[in-house]
């Protein structure tokens, strides 16, 4: 049985009470990007542990909550309320890591040293590193032993600048993820907005947006089945 670590955000948004606060006041993990893969992994007999930098609650972005969501996603919301603390995890026990998106990772996972060290361990050990939408924010500071970015010369995707513009959050995020990946030397591949799109380059698997959640989960299962 393969063991997969899922790392999620603890960031729920700016708590500023100013009437014209120029920040994101509601965010977290985008439920579809967690729930769809989680359930696929469960059905594929992959052992899952969910962790976050602080442990405890990983908030769900309210924009991803809908009465049309499948009822089985309710269980996934409960899982996100009780994540393990990342520092308590023995990374050597796991075969790979997965980062779901939502804007939350842009604010905490991107600059977290424990997250960086975890990604470096998995990538440099030849183990799976995977992320979807804004999840690749957790990868941007990880480096190879030679000091270069793990994304350098890798085919990779994420939520695109165009998609960020469409949701009108370009001015509110701390950086543009597509731009940062390109700056790090990544061969960024963008499909049209909201396209189902996944890039696979060795032990790195990335997806473009929430509509890619099922496809990236299937590709992760395929990767484990071949390894």
pLDDT given at position 19: 58
User: What is the spatial distance between Cα 188 and Cα 133, in angstroms, rounded to a whole number?
Assistant: 13
For the chain, what percentages of helix, strand and coil (3-state, to nearest 5) are there?
Answer: 35, 20, 45
| Residue ranges of the chain whose pLDDT lies below 70 | 16-22
pLDDT given at position 24: 82
Number of Cβ within a 10 Å radius of residue 70: 11
pLDDT given at position 17: 62
pLDDT given at position 121: 98
pLDDT given at position 15: 72
User: What is the spatial distance between Cα 158 and Cα 179, in angstroms, rounded to a whole number?
Assistant: 10
Query: Are 140 and 105 spatial neighbours (Cβ–Cβ below 8 Å)?
Result: no
User: What is the spatial distance between Cα 100 and Cα 138, in angstroms, rounded to a whole number?
Assistant: 10
Q: Report pTM.
A: 0.96
Angle subtended at Cα 112 by Cα 161 and Cα 141, rounded to the nearest 5 degrees:
55
What is the fold of 3-226?
Answer: Rossmann fold (3.40.50)
Paired tokens of 178: 């597509």
CA distances from 171 to 24, 147, 180 (A): 10, 31, 15
What percentage of the chain exceeds 90 in pLDDT?
Answer: 92
pLDDT digits (tens, 9 = 90+) for 174-221: 999 999 999 999 999 999 999 999 999 999 999 999 999 999 999 999
């Amino acid at each position: 049985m393969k063991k997969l670590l899922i790392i999620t955000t603890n960031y729920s948004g700016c708590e500023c009470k100013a009437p014209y606060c120029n920040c994101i006041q509601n965010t977290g993990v985008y439920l579809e990007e967690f729930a769809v893969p989680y359930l696929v992994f469960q059905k594929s007999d992959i052992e899952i542990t969910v962790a976050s930098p602080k442990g405890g609650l990983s908030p769900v972005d309210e924009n991803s909550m809908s009465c049309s969501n499948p009822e089985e996603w309710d269980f996934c919301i409960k899982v996100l309320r009780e994540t393990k603390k990342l520092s308590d995890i023995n990374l050597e026990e796991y075969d790979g890591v997965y980062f779901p998106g939502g804007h939350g990772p842009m604010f905490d996972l991107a600059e977290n040293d424990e997250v960086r060290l975890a990604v470096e361990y998995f990538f440099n050990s030849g183990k799976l590193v995977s992320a979807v939408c804004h999840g690749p924010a957790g990868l941007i500071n990880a480096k190879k032993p030679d000091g270069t970015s793990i994304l350098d010369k890798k085919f990779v995707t994420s939520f695109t600048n165009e998609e960020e513009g469409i949701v009108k959050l370009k001015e509110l995020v701390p950086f543009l993820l597509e731009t940062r990946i390109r700056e790090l030397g990544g061969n960024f591949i963008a499909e049209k907005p909201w396209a189902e799109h996944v890039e696979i380059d060795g032990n790195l698997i990335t997806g473009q947006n929430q509509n890619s959640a099922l496809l990236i989960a299937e590709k992760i299962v395929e990767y484990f089945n071949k390894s």
